[in-house]
Structure 1
């Protein structure tokens, strides 16, 4: 199926909507307990179940509208379904809390593997949108691999040492803000190594 363009705001809503609704729903249900089939589930587990279903729906809509899903979207979907599903099935919130750790550690490992081979896997997916010389891509990839590794460690520390509410805030706002700040601080690198258009 050929990839189709969709409204950027709609794409953002489909990608970020489940995270925002997870945060809102958790705020409303965090102090409640629900009994189903003789088993009690707290608000976090119920919110996680809704999050898994919602991300399946929104990812399906995104695929239907665009005809394509990125590797990052697929990896995120698989980890949410597996780790979120385990949390609900085993009634254990630890699994979904480990999802960002596994996701960012996987990104760091993939980028690091490419660097060891003298390649930037980042450029393979972003080069058309952001033309840059090979040296620049290697530097940015190294920085991003280290950054993702740092996020994986940070997530582990937060969910293991802090409350569930603190982790939800960290996941919703902290990780998003960290990614935004990281790319914001790479402006000089992008400018220095930007590829100048060839004269026709």
Structure 2
């Protein structure tokens, strides 16, 4: 349910962009993201920091897009969110409080060097996506950027999550089989 809730604002943005324009879609994105945060809190009594950061950035840059009637602000939002995530992960790791280990470490036990590699891989991934977003936003038509934002980044994030999961799985401690008392 929570995963579906995370995609609803993006779907609304895409549909309204195709039916109307970037400004109507951006306004709807702001409203849908606010509703998403409220629903997440009501359903789970908790809102993740990442979700709050995303909402603040959507409201700020989306608001500027609408007020100044300039789609550059909403294009930059994507890059800034990815840079904030990359910096947050890098800084949290540098000060010895890995954010990824903090999120997953309660359920998964891994050696610190594995957590470090996972963290730095995500820092690189977010940094790459931030740069790629700027390139696509300013070198290609708006339609291409919207498709990239909605489908390209979503697919890339999903794919990278799967790759991360496979890497983590390979480094999970092996369960010792229980001895049979009759042996």
State whether TM-score is above 0.5.
yes
| Structure 1 portions without partners, runs of 5+ | 1-8, 30-42
Q: Is the 8 A contact 1:15 1:59 kept in 2?
A: no
Structure-1 residue corresponding to 2:85: 107
Structure-2 residue corresponding to 1:178: 156
Q: Is the 8 A contact 2:62 2:74 kept in 1?
A: yes
Q: Is the 8 A contact 2:12 2:28 kept in 1?
A: no
Cα shift at 1:182: 1.2
Give the distance between the partners of 1:145 and 1:53, measured in 2 at CA: 29
Match of 1:50 among 18, 23, 28: 28
How many equivalent pairs are there? 177
Q: Is the 8 A contact 1:49 1:84 kept in 2?
A: yes
Q: Is the 8 A contact 2:16 2:24 kept in 1?
A: no
Q: Is the 8 A contact 1:112 1:145 kept in 2?
A: yes
Give the distance between the partners of 1:131 and 1:65, measured in 2 at CA: 28
Structure-2 residue corresponding to 1:150: 128
Matched, 1:15 2:6: yes
Structure-1 residue corresponding to 2:104: 126
Q: Deviations over 1:63-119 (max 9, x none)?
A: 111111001001001000001011111111111111110111011111112333354
User: Runs ≥4 in structure 1, deviation > 3 angstroms?
Assistant: 195-199
Structure-2 residue corresponding to 1:60: 38
Kindly report the root-mean-square deviation, in angstroms, between the aligned alpha carbons of the 2 structures: 1.8
Cα shift at 1:196: 4.8
Cα shift at 1:20: 0.8
Structure 1 residues 81 and 111: alpha-carbon distance in aligned structure 2, compared to 1, 3 A threshold: same
Cα shift at 1:12: 2.2
Cα shift at 1:152: 0.5
TM-score (norm 2): 0.89
Structure-1 residue corresponding to 2:181: none
